[in-house]
């Protein structure tokens, strides 16, 4: 579930009246997502997404996230633009929480992506990397390998073992990664979380890249590695789809060819991506009561991917 806050009809209508989008016609909470509350809002003029920022997001980062959407949308990337209120603000405060109105994009997130879809996503990812190069704002990656290793160390081996007895060994695996992490790869603003559920597609065309709330400055090849880890396996990480991986990287290179150093770094970057998602999932798992209304994501899904990248560095990016 992802509606943490109840907003009554009159309250919603009052909120929407701050925008020049026509009168509120209907609003429906969206079940998908975990971090924010989202509603689909229809007005007399168009359809929008209303987002209320609930957890994880620092208010000070909103100008970066929402400004990035506007920057990329202006450059014709498939991302939703932010709707500014009548006074020009990208977000407002409502009852102590930040809210933003965002363009609604059509499409559905593929549950079992095809190589053709992966190719299109690779190309769209390269498109945003190039378009974001002259985005003026900066945001540091607070989930870099040393940060995510620190998350696992803070969880501690005993707590990790309670999630799954095979989990504590990732602490040592994470240390290996921080020691060998490549530091000088080409940079831009990166999405950092481009899972299939953050991509809207109409057939084989990308109609929307959404959920930029982990975006930051970083190595573009790392973003490609995150997307590879997110797209090229079945959900549990047990089965690797080589054709999807190949199509993803090929699609990326139709727009932005990789440098030799980036290509060479992909296997270790993919392991770093696994470290990042194992850590955030383990932390969330331990923080979320088993009976909470949010489905906990299993860190082991990314331990399996991680093992795959360690054992198949040659096959994973062939």
Ligand X SMILES: N[C@@H](CCOP(=O)(O)O)C(=O)O
Ligand Y SMILES: Nc1ncnc2c1ncn2[C@@H]1O[C@H](COP(=O)(O)OP(=O)(O)O)[C@@H](O)[C@H]1O
Distance, CA of 2 to chain centre: 16
Q: Which of 181, 212, 277, 285 binds ligand X (CB under 6 A)?
A: 277
Window contacting ligand X (CB under 6 A); options: 95-103, 184-192, 274-282, 306-314 = 274-282
Asked if 33 touches ligand X (CB under 6 A), the answer is yes
Least Å distance between CB 297 and ligand Y?
11
Distance from C-alpha of 292 to C-alpha of 294, rounded to nearest angstrom: 5
Segment 191-210, which members bind ligand Y (CB under 6 A)? 197-198, 208, 210
Window contacting ligand Y (CB under 6 A); options: 26-34, 113-121, 172-180, 184-192 = 26-34
Asked if 306 touches ligand X (CB under 6 A), the answer is no
Least Å distance between CB 198 and ligand Y?
6
Return the number of the residue (255 or 294) whose C-beta is nearest ligand X.
Answer: 294
297 binding partner (options ligand Y, ligand X, none; Cβ < 5 to 8 Å by kind): ligand X
Segment 70-129, which members bind ligand Y (CB under 6 A)? 80, 102-105
Distance from C-alpha of 28 to C-alpha of 50, rounded to nearest angstrom: 10
Q: Which of 4, 104, 195, 240 binds ligand X (CB under 6 A)?
A: 195
Window contacting ligand Y (CB under 6 A); options: 30-38, 115-123, 235-243, 280-288 = 30-38
SS3 279: helix
Asked if 268 touches ligand Y (CB under 6 A), the answer is no
Least Å distance between CB 213 and ligand Y?
6
Return the number of the residue (122 or 196) whose C-beta is nearest ligand X.
Answer: 196
Tokens 């209303």 appear where? Answer: 50
Least Å distance between CB 244 and ligand Y?
20
Residues that bind ligand Y (CB under 6 A): 2, 30, 32-36, 38, 49, 80, 102-105, 197-198, 208, 210-211, 213
Residues that bind ligand X (CB under 6 A): 33-35, 193, 195, 198, 211, 277, 280-281, 297
């Amino acid at each position: 579930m992802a509606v943490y806050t109840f907003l009554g009809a009159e309250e919603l209508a009052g909120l929407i009246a701050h925008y020049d989008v026509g009168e509120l016609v209907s609003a429906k909470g969206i079940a998908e997502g975990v971090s924010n509350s989202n509603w689909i809002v229809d007005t007399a003029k168009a359809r929008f997404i209303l987002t209320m920022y609930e957890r994880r997001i620092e208010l000070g980062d909103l100008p970066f996230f929402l400004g990035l959407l506007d920057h990329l949308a202006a450059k014709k990337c498939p991302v939703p633009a932010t709707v500014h209120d009548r006074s020009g603000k990208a977000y407002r405060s409502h009852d102590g929480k930040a809210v933003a109105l965002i363009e609604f994009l059509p499409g559905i997130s593929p549950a079992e992506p095809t190589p053709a879809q992966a190719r299109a996503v690779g190309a769209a990812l390269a498109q945003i990397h190039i378009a974001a190069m002259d985005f003026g704002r900066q945001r540091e990656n607070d989930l870099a390998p040393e940060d995510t290793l620190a998350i696992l160390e803070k969880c501690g081996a005993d707590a990790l073992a309670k999630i799954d007895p095979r989990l504590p060994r990732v602490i040592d695996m994470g240390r290996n990664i921080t020691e060998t992490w490549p530091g000088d790869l080409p940079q831009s603003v990166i999405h950092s979380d481009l899972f299939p559920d953050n991509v809207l597609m109409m057939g084989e065309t990308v109609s929307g890249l959404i959920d930029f709330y982990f975006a930051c400055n970083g190595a573009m090849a790392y973003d490609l590695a995150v997307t590879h880890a997110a797209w090229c396996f079945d959900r549990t990480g047990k089965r690797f789809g080589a054709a999807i991986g190949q199509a993803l990287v090929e699609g990326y290179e139709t727009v932005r060819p990789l440098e030799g150093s980036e290509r060479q770094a992909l296997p270790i970057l993919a392991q770093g991506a696994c470290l990042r998602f194992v850590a955030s999932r383990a932390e969330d798992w331990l923080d979320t009561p088993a009976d909470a209304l949010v489905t906990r994501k299993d860190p082991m899904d990314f331990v399996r991917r991680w093992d795959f990248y360690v054992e198949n560095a040659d096959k994973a990016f062939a």
